[in-house]
Amino acid sequence: MNDQLKGLLITLFGVLCIVPDSLFVRLIDAPALAIAFWRALLVGLMIAVGLMAWQGTAPFRTFLRTGWPGLIYVVAMGTTGVLFVLAVSLTSVANVVFIIASLPVFAALFSRIALGERLSPRMYLTMAAVLPGLAVIAYGSGETANASLAGDLLALAISALFAAGLTAVRLVRQVSMVPGVAMGYVLGALVILPWAQPLAMPVDQAPLVAMHAALILGSSVLLALGPRYITSAEVGLLILLESVFAPLLAWYFVGEDPGAYALLGGSIVVGALFASNLVVLARRKRRRPVTHPDRPTLH
């Protein structure tokens, strides 16, 4: 198996692990903050224990030397991990995943502002298509059951915050970001602890919580490894699978109809990003393994 195929398969399984994330938030019968607390704490601790068992404290010491970029990344991971659960509790799954799919647009804008990178004509066209798609989704929130503008705004904040974190760590791309995921999740859980009421989680929900955490852990590990062997465009195309399958899972298992506006706006957003990544791939005359910084999951 060559490196490209290995990277595609690892990344694909990582994306498939994250697809049921929003469905588990729907299925677990507990307050949103309690779900967010246990989700963040369990995943953060499991990643931390795994890293220390494998490499000791060295990865954490190296990460702490990254300074402000590392701090921004930790804050982004901790914040988005909590906000994702709140967003899903306030609006439809379809709205959340379609809006979060706009992350590459925010990443491009932040790279222009913080790193001085020029925006390509392709990215301008992508933004010109994505923004109307987001507007359609937002408009539909007033017309669709289970959707709300407040949840949509939280999803937009997740997209922007995570993009900011990814932009910051490009300044220290030689350092593994996996310790930052563990630190961000644990700190996020500790911050919301006074309001989370973790003991409000019913005991009979423990199996669902454990399965949820295990899938997020698997996704975090696989999405940290797979993108090291394939291009950003290939990663982007695979991650769009979450935007396609997550609403379908919610529709099938809990009967959550995404609504016509979410489907229309989501199709515009996902279609624009899909076409944009295809253009990048088409321009590559030769494909070869490319090393990227570790890229953990969006949520």
Query: pLDDT digits over 108-150, tens only?
Result: 999 899 888 888 899 999 999 999 999 999 999 877 778 899 9
Pull the structure tokens for residue 114: 């913080």
- Burial profile 164-202: b = 16 or more Cβ within 10 angstroms, e = fewer: bbbbbbeebeebbbbbbbbbbbbbbbeebeeebebeebe
Residue 32 carries which side chain, given as an amino acid letter? Answer: A
Q: What is the mean pLDDT of the chain?
A: 90
Contacts 24+ apart (CB under 8 A), 206-209: 208/24, 208/27, 208/28, 209/28, 209/35, 209/38, 209/39, 209/42
The pLDDT tens digits of the residues spanning 61-116 come to 999 999 999 999 999 999 999 999 999 999 999 999 999 999 999 989 998 998 88
> pTM of the predicted model, to two decimals?
0.90
- The structural domains of the chain, with segments of one domain joined by +, span 3-283
Nearest to 231 by CA among 169, 176, 185, 279: 279
Has residue 34 got a pLDDT over 60?
yes
Residues 271-283 as b or e (16 or more Cβ within 10 Å = b): ebbbebbeebeee
Give the SS3 label for residue 193.
helix
What one-letter code names the amino acid at 187?
L
**What band does 180 get if pLDDT is binned at 50, 70 and 90?**
very high
Length of the chain: 299
Could you tell me the two tokens for 231?
């291009």
Q: What CA–CA distance (Å, rounded) separates 220 from 217?
A: 5
